[in-house]
A and B are shown apart, each in its own frame.
Chain A
Amino acid sequence: MNTPNAPVTQVQVAQRTPWLAAWGPRMVIGLPFGWLGLLFLLPFVVVLKISLSEMNESGIGYKDLVDWQDGLVVISLRYSNYLFLLSDKLYLMTYLSSLMYALTATVLCLLLGYPFAYFLARSPASIRPGLMMLVMLPFWTSFLLRIYAWKGLLDNNGLINQLLLALGLIDTPLAMMNTPFSLQIGMVYVYLPFMVLPLYANLVKMDLRLLEAATDLGAKPWTVFWRVTVPLSRSGIVAGSMLVFIPCVGEYVIPAMLGGPNTLNIGRVLWDEFFSNNDWAMASAVAIVMVLLIIAPMAWFNRIQAQQRGAT
């Protein structure tokens, strides 16, 4: 039997329908490319442009970078938004605290999620799909409602405080809502499945013979875990961590619902600059700096994805 590879197939295609052969693939590539280019890439150029411009005195809209004045082209680039960002302590603190919240959430997700994914991957094969479906199931219910649920649990009159009071463990309700604690719980709760999925996919594919070999050579279970299992699951750890860390940096809904007014979050600052202050230029500058902060982890994520594709 001959196994036609790609060139042969293309020749066959070309012989039968020259028109489709020429334009079909171009359309299949071009349409999604154009769609994302227009709606995802081009908008960043616009944001960059607006971040360098000045707001109109009226407070609505921004001035154009290039303008005709008395027959001359006037280009007015403004770094003032960026200078303000860098000089204002509050913005710096906000960026730092967003990174810290995201980092803490990532570490907590890893600590809870790694053993979880490990135990899942080593469960009997017959119950694994069912267990995995139970992890995926919350994805299908609303993200918004799952965050909202914690309001009812962590409130001063909430379930946890009622329980602790009834058990006599505390005398006055613990103030848990609208603190860094509630914000952090919300992040871990929402993003834990994003950590578990890549870890599980990695751990379940692992070649168990390598672990047996290590055991045969006299390694203790704990040593096998640290010296063989963990290093082999590196790409899963990186992918999961990036899937948690990057969205957490710019998270808006969780801080708005659970964080209260005193936790500093850059996603919320961007939102307020845009919706409350109507300062589009400043909101754009905030967004550009945020993208710069997450571009390195994003490149890392992309590389790991590409490596995994190459491996399979």
Chain B
Amino acid sequence: MTTSWLRCTWLLAIYAFLYLPIATLVAYSFNDSKMVTLWSGFTLHWYGDVFRDRDLMEALGLSLRIAFSSATTSVVLGTMAAFALVRFQGFRGKAMLQSMVNAPLVMPDVIVGLSLLLLLVALQRALGVPERGAMTIWLGHTVLGMAYATVVVQSRLQEMDRSLEEAALDLGARPWKVFTAITLPLISQALISAWLLTFTVSLDDVVISAFLSGPGSNTLPIVIFSRAKLGLNPSVNVIASLTVLLVGMCVLAGSLWLARREKQLSRELAAAMREH
């Protein structure tokens, strides 16, 4: 009795701690007053302002482009790394690859950003390329994204049942065919979540982007950060509440889709069992 009471309070308290701050931002975004924390009435006009804000909209476009390309690159490279780490036995440098994949997960962003920038500057001195901008931010984000993607795909590959692949190989399918026809569909869910995760990681990053951005290549977080540092800002509240709305809808749609797929799978399984 006492433990279940303690469990409920503890769980509720932590969830409140995690969610209340975000909820206040959403509430503040409808506040009419310019003084963000003093409530003076409901309004939607900050939302209109945000969509007319050219700096914000350009930054959003750039961020989305970078996030899209870095997520795609990260998932391709991360899947390769995960395959190498799970499927290939004891090649030289395996331990090193594993720690190079783990390290960016915990390495402070300032160090990743600074070191990559200094390398790029040294390259630029020697070769004249690359110019700092969207390209260099993309490179930086792939380092971080690859680490996340590898971890996600690696854990899926480890728990995967290999008998289907082996059966296909026994029946004479070529390895590439086995990979595209069997392995890829089996790990597709992990690939999708890895892509979404690396997409958000890229869309969220301030520090690495700040080091690697050039003149005129401000990503959305850089713009938000420079405004938020100065104090509370209605446009930032609006972006926060739009983000929450978007994420909430995606998660809802995703879980509905998953639930439906699961139901369908179990129905098909039951049907198959009946036929036998």
**Chain A interface residues (CB < 8 Å from chain B):** 2-4, 6, 9, 12-13, 16-17, 20, 24-25, 27-29, 31-33, 35-37, 39-44, 46-47, 50, 61, 112, 115-116, 119-120, 122-123, 131, 133-135, 137-146, 148-153, 155, 157-159, 162, 189, 192-193, 242-243, 246-247, 249-253, 256-257, 267, 270-271, 274, 280, 283-284, 287, 290-291, 294, 298, 301-302, 305-306, 309, 312
> Does B181 touch A at the CB level, under 8 Å?
no
Given contacts A28-B83, A270-B110, A302-B99, 9 further A-B contacts (CB under 8 A): A4-B169, A32-B150, A39-B119, A61-B125, A159-B37, A250-B111, A284-B118, A287-B111, A287-B114
**CB distance A148 to B7 under 8 Å?**
no
- CB-defined contacts of A139 to chain B, threshold 8 Å: 197, 200
Closest approach, in angstroms, between the C-beta of A209 and any C-beta of chain B?
20
Most interface-central of B10, B84, B158 (chain A CB within 10 A): B84
**CB distance A133 to B116 under 8 Å?**
no
Interface string of B84-119 (1 = CB under 8 A from A): 100111010100011111111111111110111011
> Does B28 touch A at the CB level, under 8 Å?
yes
**CB distance A159 to B236 under 8 Å?**
no
**CB distance A29 to B106 under 8 Å?**
no
Most interface-central of B102, B116, B121, B239 (chain A CB within 10 A): B116
**CB distance B77 to A32 under 8 Å?**
yes
Decide: A145 near B224, CB < 8 A? Known: A46-B115, A46-B122, A158-B37: yes
> Does B189 touch A at the CB level, under 8 Å?
no
**CB distance B146 to A36 under 8 Å?**
yes
**CB distance B97 to A242 under 8 Å?**
no
**Chain B interface residues (CB < 8 Å from chain A):** 7, 10-11, 14-15, 17-19, 21-22, 24-25, 28, 35-38, 77-78, 80-81, 83-84, 87-89, 91, 93, 97-112, 114-116, 118-119, 121-122, 125, 139-140, 142-143, 146, 150, 158-159, 163, 166, 169-170, 174-176, 196-197, 200, 203-204, 206-207, 211, 221, 224-225, 228-229, 231-232, 236, 239-240, 243-244, 247, 250-251, 255
Q: Which listed residue (B35, B89, B175) contacts A20, Cβ 8 A?
A: B175
Q: Which residue of A lies closest to B241 (CB)?
A: A145
Would you call the interface of chain A mostly helix, strand, loop, or mixed? helix
**CB distance A41 to B100 under 8 Å?**
yes
- CB-defined contacts of B105 to chain A, threshold 8 Å: 243
Q: Which residue of B lies closest to A122 (CB)?
A: B7
Decide: A287 near B174, CB < 8 A? Known: A25-B88, A140-B247, A144-B204: no
- Give Cα A97 to B140, complex, Å: 29
Q: Which listed residue (B18, B38, B87, B196) contacts A138, Cβ 8 A?
A: B18
Most interface-central of B89, B111, B115 (chain A CB within 10 A): B115
- 25 intermolecular pairs with C-beta atoms under 8 Å apart: A4-B170, A9-B169, A16-B175, A17-B175, A28-B88, A33-B84, A33-B93, A35-B77, A37-B100, A39-B116, A61-B125, A115-B10, A119-B10, A123-B7, A141-B243, A142-B224, A144-B225, A145-B22, A145-B240, A148-B240, A149-B24, A152-B28, A291-B111, A298-B107, A309-B158
**CB distance A250 to B109 under 8 Å?**
yes
**CB distance B232 to A29 under 8 Å?**
no
- Give Cα A148 to B140, complex, Å: 24
Decide: A32 near B80, CB < 8 A? Known: A39-B142, A271-B110: yes
- CB-defined contacts of B225 to chain A, threshold 8 Å: 144, 253, 257
- CB-defined contacts of B231 to chain A, threshold 8 Å: 151
Most interface-central of A119, A157, A247, A251 (chain B CB within 10 A): A119
**CB distance B114 to A47 under 8 Å?**
yes
**CB distance B77 to A270 under 8 Å?**
no
Decide: A251 near B119, CB < 8 A? Known: A40-B143, A140-B251, A302-B99: no
Q: Which listed residue (B15, B200, B207) contacts A252, Cβ 8 A?
A: B207
- CB-defined contacts of B109 to chain A, threshold 8 Å: 247, 250, 252
- CB-defined contacts of B77 to chain A, threshold 8 Å: 31-32, 35
Please give me the 3 A-B residue pairs with the lowest Cβ-Cβ distance, nearest first.
A250-B108, A43-B115, A149-B21
Q: Which residue of A lies closest to B254 (CB)?
A: A133
- Give Cα A32 to B80, complex, Å: 7
- Give Cα A142 to B228, complex, Å: 13
- CB-defined contacts of A41 to chain B, threshold 8 Å: 100
Decide: A143 near B204, CB < 8 A? Known: A4-B166, A46-B122: yes
**CB distance A153 to B24 under 8 Å?**
yes
- CB-defined contacts of A39 to chain B, threshold 8 Å: 116, 119, 139-140, 142-143
Decide: A119 near B255, CB < 8 A? Known: A43-B118, A50-B118: no
**CB distance B232 to A119 under 8 Å?**
no
Closest approach, in angstroms, between the C-beta of A253 and any C-beta of chain B?
6
Closest approach, in angstroms, between the C-beta of B142 and any C-beta of chain A?
7
Closest approach, in angstroms, between the C-beta of A119 and any C-beta of chain B?
4
**CB distance B97 to A29 under 8 Å?**
yes
